Amino acid sequence: MANDIYYIGANDEHGVNPPTPGKRTPIVPGLNRVIYENEFNRAAKGYFIEALMRNGFSVFDVKPEMYDVSISERIRRINRQNLTLLVTFAYNAYGTSFNNSSGLETFYSPSNPKAAESRRLAENLYAELIQGTQQNGRGVKTLDVGVLSNVNCVSSLIEAGFMTNLREARLMINPLFQTEVGEESCHGVCNYLGVSYIPRDNLSVYPLLRVGSRNNFVYLLQFILSRSGYRVSVDGIFGNGTATAVQNFQRRNGLTVDGIVGNNTWKYLLTLPPYPTIRQGAKGSYVTLLQRLLESNLIPVGTIDGDFGTRTTNAVKTFQQNNNLTVDGIVGNNTWAKLTQPI
């Protein structure tokens, strides 16, 4: 794909293992825990990388580590790569308790050697994010921090919301919001570069993959499998190791176990609608999606593990009761519809 001439950097602020001190929400009611900023930043960056791969870009993950990496080290990594542009994912805060400060903003630095282009990137990102996420718009602003001012490429930073706003704290762990931020950021990059954007939910664009395939969609497949906990090298070559990981994924999700990635396997990898009816005993990617959505609705499920056990059943019943649905612990069309409504 011609877009591979563009080399896009993706950066997430702070770390989560161990978490960067101070970069967290207040205690969240219902969950009785804090949400760390990097729980959002890293997830949104991951969905951004997925979107970039689908659209055929070359991608550089500035900070693949789970822990924090110094700004100076990240700047060194970035400036060695000769990137076309860089997008950084972050989340804002105001004060130390929940309050009404809210909204999304993008930043660029006037000190960047490509300041005018950085501003144009920030404007393109902002336009797509405001349209796609339903966040309040706080505008495009200037900020002199290292990943904006001291890098040798076009650079913009996204503050997608406020950790100190309860609604936006919930969005931090909502997988649909994380995905939307990643996708709209890619869309903004495409607009900035003047290339077409390929939407995530159009299964017709995903090719059939099997042993021997080599293309950007193999990178995408491997990246998704790796993010989902399957051991696979992200090298763009569909070899026996990738086939084994695909078979394990298919088995886990109750799919035909053939190691071939067709439309149905892609649908489960991406957890696209229509959502299947699931109940206690189910396993796989849609159960993981369910558990994450329940947590973002302040209903704890324990470990998010993709196993629909007793605790997940009880959490579903609580959600159904809270939303005047039939309380049966079964996640069908009506329950999915409520779970996937914007927060």
Please give the domain boundaries of the chain with CATH numbers for all domains. Answer: 2-193 (3.40.630.40), 203-261 (1.10.101.10), 285-339 (1.10.101.10)
- Band of pLDDT at residue 170, cut at 50, 70 and 90: very high
CB under 8 Å to 274, separation ≥6 — which residues? none
Q: Which two tokens stand for residue 77?
A: 């990594």
Mean local confidence (pLDDT), 200-228: 97
pLDDT at 2: 80
181 within 8 A of 146, measured Cβ to Cβ: no
Reply yes or no on whether the pLDDT at 10 is more than 70.
yes
Tokens encoding 102: 């809210």
Rounded Cα–Cα distance for residues 154 and 239 (Å): 36
Secondary structure element (H or E) that encloses residue 107, with its range: strand 104-108
pLDDT tens for residues 298-341?
999 999 999 999 999 999 999 999 999 999 999 999 999 999 99
Rounded to whole angstroms, what are the CA distances from 10 to 312, 315, 326? 34, 35, 43
Mean pLDDT of the region 77-83: 98
Nearest Cα residue to 216 out of 64, 55, 87: 55
pTM score, whole prediction:
0.98
Is residue 1 predicted with pLDDT exceeding 60? no
pLDDT tens across 240-252, in order? Answer: 999 999 999 999 9
Answer yes or no: are the C-beta atoms of 199 and 220 closer than 8 Å. no
